[in-house]
Structure 1
Amino acid sequence: MDDLKQWVEPILAENGCRLYALEWLTNEKPPLLRISIEKLDGPVDLDTCAICSDAIGTMLDAKDWYASEYNLEVCSPGAEHELTTDEQIQAAIGSYVYVKLKDPKQGMDHVFGDLISANTELIVISYNVKGRKKKFEIDRSNLALIMTAVKV
């Protein structure tokens, strides 16, 4: 999988994307290589997936990566997806997110808002209360879940 990641990332970068997740699903018949991508400058569309899929498929065929039949799927992780790595959290700065806390803070066990900043110790969310902006600082150790969200 490390080789795959190293081969795929430059192709995605050439197409204005970054890798979100790489999955090798051997329980599928034939096995499925699922590559979830994020676009650097907006939402992933079908054309972007197709372009990246063609480029990655050509590269994998040239490297003769897998000797048997398999399916390749290049897709978006979706509008609402969990942020599981520091890199994903950093990439989401400025985005609207949902955060669930392990232990409530200031009477709140979750918050929706804009991710303002994040480091290894703390994340900062800007949220609205009765039309007023407030900041909410959360210790990373208190995060149960952080994911992108869609404003309603």
Structure 2
Amino acid sequence: MSKVTSVIEQLLIPIIDELKLELVDIEFVKEGRNHFLRVYVDTPEGGIDIEQCVQVSERLSLILDQEDPIEQNYYLEVSSPGAERPLKKEEDFQKAIGKYIYVKTYEPVKDMKELHGYLIAYTEQGLEMEIRIKTRKINIQIEKEKVAQARLAIDFSDKQI
């Protein structure tokens, strides 16, 4: 986590707690000539509405104007993490057990760096997924250190068009 995002997280915690929301992620990125501070929030049950995002945005804006922790000009965006919510914290993975996820690894696991499948288990060592290779389902272990990115995903494999 960068210095900016950790400072923003500390400013956000009281707002998130008061509104009984969950902080999913914070990004501070440069895209082209512009900087963006993106805050992703959700409810513990999952699903947030625009009014809740507006409340977080307005309250955070006031604090950011007072504290001024970011030197550059930037755009503040507060939104839902969406259906393909990132999995970063241990509790994110625990809540995702049994769900369909996408994992990108730093190095190949069973000759693959991108895996889609169901999260079977998550431990201190890593995670176990059930993936489909053609018509076979196999369980695969991925060490925590090898996970570059993980997020919920949508399973279209059993859907008919």
* TM-score tier after normalising by the smaller chain length: 0.5 to 0.7
The structure-2 alpha-carbon separation of the partners of 1:127 and 1:10, relative to structure 1 and needing over 3 Å to count, comes to farther
Q: Residues 25-56 of structure 1: CA distance to partner in whole angstroms, max 9, x if unpaired?
A: 4932xx54322223321133323211211222
Alpha-carbon RMSD: 3.7
1:48 partner amino acid: Q
1:65 partner amino acid: D
TM norm structure 1: 0.67
Structure 2 segments unaligned to the other structure (5+ residues): 157-161
Show the 5 A alignment for 1:109-128: 110-126=114-130
Deviation of 1:117 (Å):
2.7
Deviation of 1:81 (Å):
4.9
1:93 partner amino acid: A
Match of 1:149 among 122, 147, 153: 153
What's the counterpart of residue 36 of structure 1? 40
The structure-2 alpha-carbon separation of the partners of 1:5 and 1:110, relative to structure 1 and needing over 3 Å to count, comes to closer
Q: Alignment partner of 1:42: what SS?
A: coil
Q: Alignment partner of 1:60: what SS?
A: helix
What's the counterpart of residue 7 of structure 1? 11
Alpha carbons 1:124, 1:138 under 8 Å: kept: yes
Deviation of 1:74 (Å):
0.7
Structure 1: how far apart are the matches of 2:8 and 2:84? 25
Alpha carbons 2:24, 2:81 under 8 Å: kept: no
Q: Residues 96-136 of structure 1: CA distance to partner in whole angstroms, max 9, x if unpaired?
A: 2012453343x766543332332332202245789998643
Q: Residues 81-106 of structure 1: CA distance to partner in whole angstroms, max 9, x if unpaired?
A: 554x444753653342012453343x
Structure 1 segments unaligned to the other structure (5+ residues): none
Q: Residues 6-26 of structure 1: CA distance to partner in whole angstroms, max 9, x if unpaired?
A: 011221233222141231649
Q: Size of the alignment, in residue pairs?
A: 147
Q: In the alignment, does 2:108 pair up with 1:103? A: yes
TM norm structure 2: 0.64
Structure 1: how far apart are the matches of 2:149 and 2:7? 29
The structure-2 alpha-carbon separation of the partners of 1:65 and 1:110, relative to structure 1 and needing over 3 Å to count, comes to closer
Alpha carbons 1:12, 1:19 under 8 Å: kept: no
